[in-house]
Amino acid sequence: MGATAGFEIFIYVYKSMSIPMNIEIWEFIKILIVEIIYNALITIILYPLMQKLGYKMEEIFKNPQILTRYF
């Protein structure tokens, strides 16, 4: 959530300095809150799936499946 807020604030400030535009703080804050909530929900949904996939990948690579062994 912090990364989303930081990124969006940085982009807004950068655009407002490079392109002449009206600065509308209230509209920006409303959009920022919606984006933060959306990203948090997506993270809550996708993180467990990515974690399970990571555990399965780790099991695959940890199991010794080498046919020839050198001692």
Q: Counting Cβ atoms within 10 Å, is residue 60 exposed (0-12), middle (13-18) or buried (19+)?
A: exposed
pLDDT tens column, 12-46: 899 888 888 788 889 989 999 999 999 999 999 99
pLDDT at 29: 92
Q: Give the start-to-end residue ranges of the domains of the chain.
A: 2-62
pLDDT at 23: 80
Question: Can you tell me the distance from the alpha carbon of 40 to that of 21, in angstroms, rounded to the nearest whole number?
Answer: 29
Instruction: Name residue, tokens 């807020």.
Output: 5
pLDDT at 48: 93
